Chains A and B, each alone.
Chain A
Amino acid sequence: MRVLAIVLAVLSGFVVLAGYFVPTFTEIQIVLLNWAIILAGAATIVGVFNLILVHADRIHKREKGGTYSGILLIALFAAFLLGLVLGPGHADMRRLVNAVVVPAETSLMALLAVSLIYGSVRLLARRPDLMSVVFLATAVLMLLASATLPFGQASALNDFIRPWIQHVLALGGARGLLIGVALGTLVTGLRVLVGADRPYEGA
């Protein structure tokens, strides 16, 4: 059974890859991709079941945070039932999202702002080196260059320094990182393609 899974995975990968270069495999590629999309949607349902199982187990074992797990499960089932009854596009469902999800995540984003400032303040204490100084100096410069002054704006800072740092230094470094990540992704994908790595090798 494990060998069959490996064969299917490798074969599917080669077909999808070939579909980008060989027009003959395009149709098969589309079919396989559609199947992958369907499986991803099904995996979402399985993932939700896994989430229910984890929190139910925490409630059953009376572990720390079990109360919050109970609230989560209640909210999950309630939203699911509402979605089944009203439909996901219903106005009430939209209100539910806007009233719960959006404030929660925006709050986390605000908290992140404080965390980032705190982290930046403690960076030199945690990692006292030249790169940390450069990092902080660049961050402060970009912060200052992104805003305007009450009495006007520093054109040099806003029009030259910030664009240069943003488009040259930052962008160039980011591209290098992204190229490296892309190469790593390529190699990792090929390892899965040739069967060297088998994350699907389960039970």
Chain B
Amino acid sequence: MEDAVVCPNCGEQNPADMPFCQHCQWRLRTLEAEWGTDQEVRPSNAPASPQRDKSEDASVPDWLRASRSQASHDSAAFGGRLEAGRQPAAPPSDDDLLAGLAQQDQPQDEEIPDWVARIVGMSESGSPGQAPSSENESELLEGAPPADQAPSAEHGIGQEESQSWARDSLPLATDIGPQEGANRYADAMGTQESGTEKSEINEWLRNLDAAAAASPEPPAGPGLSASENVPTWVRRMTGVPDGQPQETPGPADPVPDWLSGSPGRSGEPVSAPPSSLGIPTRSQGRPLEATDKASGEAPAQSATSAAISRGVVPAFPLEDIQKLDVDAVFASMQMPVWMAGVNPPEATSVSDLPPAAQEEEPIAPADLPSWVRAMRPVVSGVDQAAKLEADKHLEGRGPLLGLQGVLPALPGAALPSGRPESHSMKLDVSERHRAHARLLESMIAAETQPLPLQGTGQFRSHRMLRWAISAILVVGLGANVLTGARNFPLPAGVPNESIAGIQAVESLPPDATVLAVFDYEPATVGEMEATAASLMHHLLLLKHPRLAVISTSPTGSALAGRFLAGALADRAYMRGVHYVDLGYLPGGLAGVRSFAQNPTAAVPLGASSEQVWDSSVLLGTRRLSDFAAIILLTDSLESGRVWIEQTAATRGTSPLVMVASAQAGPMLLPYFDSGQADGLIAGLNGAAGAEIANNGLPGLVRRYWDAYSLGLYLAALLITLGSTWHVGIGIRERRAETA
């Protein structure tokens, strides 16, 4: 490639128009070459547009304007020196994102920070171990904002404030002539180069130096003293008299520690460690004056030559820097705190000043903003430069790849690694964890397992108990009935209520009309027929009454016919001849009351819808009192109460005899005792007396009595045994619980 440029850092070829190396981002062209000599060099955060408004020009101080013009001249000279050993720089390509920083001459509205520009210059040295180049050092210088920069927009510092801090912090900045300041600066940076292009800093530094030389020297402030070991240029900036000859800047000497990165050079009296900012303090470092005046041009040239011989193209040759009026430059900078105590150097003679500072019209000292003053390199900065010069180690990994002077990581800090740490995928399980896991598994499994039911055996025994009871009753009672045994005698005593009932029946006139109420359920047919048979048979046998059958139950009529045709079959009572069926009396209590008040209206027709009240059976019977007697056959207390209570007012003197089951008998007894009823046959016990009075006819009581008695005894026995069994089980369980 004809227009290829060999990178001094990595040795790779690059297009000529490339400002930076494509491989290691090393700067291939100087800023002067990129920006041009006619352009003002603005190594600042806000590269100003060359087309400034007139209003902006009016606001710029005169000293700044002069520095700008001087800087432009210097940059042109610097660019010329660079061309001797450098390929023409390739125009910046579009891929170079940082190329715009170098194009200060192009109209740019964006403010490229100076520190970015500096980083770009330093990042060009991508491989470690390379010596810090003057580019890095020059970029450090580039980091100093121009005097005309107004940091108020970015840093919130007003113009007045910037000027005030500059005035307050560095009152001695103007003591140093521009040339002397440039020399000092060049010594501090260690970038001595003969015939180099004038960089931006060289120009503005020279302008400042010239302005400072023209302006009266400010009085010495409470800053640096001549006896202190501070750099000469710093002394000049702060007004400290330069009482010490400047050391010849050379490879072994003039580079400040803060630029070279080394704690100090040989022969350099280092009294104190550099500050964290790399800015030298009053108590630090070697005297600046040892690096500037004595060096003059030759040290600058030697340093620059050395830099070129190393393949480094310093952006700011030392000889150029020495010619600059640094005072004016740094007067506009913000004085850092550590520099507050620096005594201004002693005033120097005009002859000692560099040529730029010997101009008739030096740059008038102005109030530098604080941040500008902060940018002023001092002794420790020189030391820092020297350290950087000595520290040739470049960062080889991580985001700071290629940078020099990177602070080492703290012990124990995580260093970036290209490969993450490997972790074992094996789960660390202890025995305790396993035990807990087993327990949890067992608990979960227990939830799905059905619990065994209890009590099923008890249920089977209940059914067996029922079967056993049924079997005992069926076998025992059935055998007794089938065999016709007569082992159990009838009760000897006859209840009084039974006797009264028998007497009431016997007192009836023959062929009387008797009302028979059949109010019992089909379920109690067996008991009721056996209970009522003897009394009814006695009535029918003795008195031959005409019966009227009625019932408040729908099945009463059928039961009445069954009774008359079954138990009293021998009496041969025929329906329509000997008795009439009045049928079903609805309405319960109301129906009975209605019948009691007016029977013919309540029951106009018979069960078969025949005319009954005009029949021969009920001839002349129209009211309830016309009935000779009322025989009530019931198995419920309610029915008996209803008939007794509802007919009490209307039956007159007609007796009411009740035949009740053993269940209802005791409940109906008070009615007999109170005289509301004339007789009561309750159960087989009561019927036994009636049967005896009837000479044992029809004999149903006798037939059922053995089975009845046996059944009672069996029931009592079963209840006794079962209760005793459960009591014993309960006692045993309680004893087991207490035990």
A residues contacting B by CB (< 8 A) are 30, 33-34, 36-37, 40-41, 44, 87-90, 93-94, 97-98, 101-102, 104-106, 108-109, 113-114, 117-118, 120-125, 128, 136, 139-140, 143-144, 146-150, 152-153, 155, 158-159, 166-167, 170-171, 174-175, 178
Chain B min CB distance to A29 (Å): 9
The docked-state distance in angstroms from the alpha carbon of A153 to that of B491 is 7
* A147 to B491 Cα, complex, angstroms: 8
CB-CB < 8 A to A89: which residues of B?
557, 575, 581, 583, 606-608
Q: Are A121 and B722 in contact (CB under 8 A)?
A: yes
Known contacts A33-B594, A167-B669, A93 near B558 by CB under 8 Å: yes
Most chain A beta-carbon contacts within 10 A, residue among B669, B685, B705, B722? B722
Cβ-defined partner of A149 (8 Å) among B488, B590, B720: B488
Inter-chain contact A109/B666, CB cutoff 8 Å: no
The digit string for B693-731, where 1 denotes a CB below 8 A from any CB of A, is: 000000000000100111111011011111100110110
A123 touches B723 (CB 8 A): yes
Chain B residues positioned under 8 Å from A150 (CB to CB): 487-489
Stretch with Cβ within 8 A of A (4 or more), from B46-54, B112-120, B151-159, B518-526: B518-526
A118-B557 contact in complex given A140-B720, A147-B708, C-beta closer than 8 Å: no
Chain B contact residues, CB within 8 Å of chain A: 462, 465-466, 469-470, 473, 487-493, 521-526, 555, 557-559, 561-562, 575, 581, 583, 586-588, 590-591, 593-594, 597, 606-609, 662, 666-667, 669-670, 683, 685, 705, 708-713, 715-716, 718-723, 726-727, 729-730
- What are 7 A-B residue pairs whose CB atoms fall within 8 Å in the complex? A30-B594, A40-B586, A97-B562, A113-B715, A146-B685, A147-B712, A150-B487
B586 to A88, Cβ gap below 8 A? no
Instruction: Tell me which residues across on chain A come within 8 A of B587, comparing CB atoms.
Output: 33, 36-37, 40-41
Q: Which residue of B lies closest to A91 (CB)?
A: B561
Are B525 and A106 in contact, CB atoms less than 8 angstroms apart? yes
A159 shortest CB reach to chain B, Å: 6
A175, B593: Cα distance in complex, Å: 24
What separation, in Å, do the CA atoms of A104 and B711 have in the docked complex? 21
Q: Are A117 and B726 interface neighbours, CB within 8 A?
A: no
- Complex: how many Å from CA A42 to CA B720? 50
CB distance from A85 to the nearest CB of B (A): 13
Tell me if B524 and A121 are in contact (CB < 8 A). Answer: no
Alpha-carbon distance A114/B475, docked complex (angstroms): 13
Determine if A102 and B607 form an interchain contact, defined as CB atoms under 8 angstroms apart. no
List, in ascending order, chain A residues with CB within 8 A of B593's CB.
Answer: 33
Q: Are B523 and A105 in contact (CB under 8 A)?
A: yes
Given contacts A97-B558, A124-B726, contact A148 B470 (CB under 8 A): no
> A146-B685, A150-B489 provided; 6 other pairs, C-beta below 8 A?
A94-B558, A94-B561, A105-B521, A109-B526, A120-B722, A152-B489
Query: Dominant SS at the B interface?
Result: helix
A45 CB → nearest B CB, Å: 12
**What CA separation (Å) do A29 and B212 show in the bound complex?**
138
Complex CA gap A154/B710 in Å reads 15
The 9 residue pairs across chains A and B that have the minimum distance between CB atoms: A121-B722, A37-B587, A89-B608, A147-B709, A105-B523, A97-B558, A147-B712, A143-B716, A89-B607
Interchain CA distance A124-B733 in the complex, whole Å? 14
- Complex Cα distance A101/B523, Å? 9
Among B606, B711, B730, which residue has its beta carbon within 8 angstroms of that of A128? Answer: B730
Interface residue from B493, B591, B715, B720 paired with A158 (Cβ < 8 Å) = B493
In the assembled complex, the Cα of A101 lies from the Cα of B466 at a distance in Å of 25
Residue from A34, A36, A44, A121 in contact with B719 in the complex, judged by beta carbons closer than 8 Å? A121
By a CB distance below 8 angstroms, the chain B residues around A146 are 662, 683, 685, 712
Which of B526, B591, B716 sits near A106, CB closer than 8 Å?
B526
Contact B470 A114 (CB under 8 A): yes
Distance (Å) between the CB of A198 and the closest chain B CB? 21
Q: Smallest CB-CB separation from B492: which chain A residue?
A: A153
Residue contact B562 to A125, C-beta cutoff 8 Å = no
How far, in whole Å, are A153 and B597 apart by their CA atoms in the complex?
Answer: 47
Contact between A87 and B522 (Cβ–Cβ < 8 Å)? Answer: no
Contact indicator B727/A108 (Cβ below 8 Å): no
Write the chain A residue with the least CB distance to B684: A146
A36: which B residues are within 8 A, CB to CB?
587, 590
Q: Is the Cβ of A37 less than 8 Å from the Cβ of B591? A: yes
Q: Which residues of A contact B683 (CB under 8 A)?
A: 146
Given contacts A89-B606, A117-B469, contact A174 B666 (CB under 8 A): yes
A95 to chain B, nearest CB (A): 9
Residues of B within 8 A of A148 (CB): 488-491, 705, 709
B719 near A120 with CB under 8 A, answer yes
Q: Are B488 and A114 in contact (CB under 8 A)?
A: no
- With a CB–CB cut-off of 8 A, which chain B residues contact A155? 492-493
| A122→B609 CA distance, assembly (Å) | 52
Q: Do the beta carbons of B522 and A105 come within 8 Å of each other?
A: yes
Chain B, Cβ-Cβ closest to A41:
B586
Closest CB-CB distance, B458 to chain A, in whole Å?
10
Q: What is the CA–CA distance of A151 and B171 in the complex, to the nearest angstrom?
A: 149
Q: Given A113-B473, A117-B718 in contact, is the A98-B558 Cβ separation under 8 Å?
A: yes
Q: Would B712 and A106 count as touching, CB distance under 8 A? A: no
The CA-CA distance from A175 to B673 in the complex, in Å, is 14
Most buried by B among A89, A120, A125: A89
Measured in the bound complex, the distance between the Cα atoms of B718 and A136 in whole Å is 11
Are A171 and B666 in contact (CB-based, < 8 A)? yes
Contact partners of A122 in chain B: CB under 8 A: 462, 465, 722, 726
Do the beta carbons of B555 and A30 come within 8 Å of each other? no
Among candidates B581, B705, B712, residue contacting A143 with C-beta atoms closer than 8 Å: B712
- The answer to whether A37 and B666 touch across the interface, beta carbons within 8 angstroms, is no
From A33, A93, A167, B590 is in contact (CB under 8 Å) with A33
Q: Which residues of B contact A166 (CB under 8 A)?
A: 666
Distance from A38 Cβ to chain B, minimum over Cβ atoms (Å)? 8
How far apart are the CA atoms of A144 and B719 in the complex, in Å?
12
Partner of B716, one of A94, A140, A153: A140
Looking across the interface, which residue of chain B has its beta carbon closest to that of A124? B726
Given contact pairs A37-B586, A148-B489, A101 touches B666 in the complex (Cβ within 8 A): no
The CB with the most chain B CB atoms within 10 A, among A41, A125, A155, is that of: A125
A121 vs B468: C-alpha distance in the bound complex, in angstroms? 12
- A101 and B555 form a contact (CB under 8 A): yes
Contact at A117–B715, with CB atoms within 8 Å?
A: yes
Residues of chain B lying within 8 A (CB to CB) of residue A117: 469, 473, 715, 718-719
**A98–chain B nearest beta-carbon distance, Å:** 5
Select which of B493, B558, B597, B723 is within 8 A of A136 by beta carbon.
Answer: B723
A30: min CB distance to chain B, Å: 7
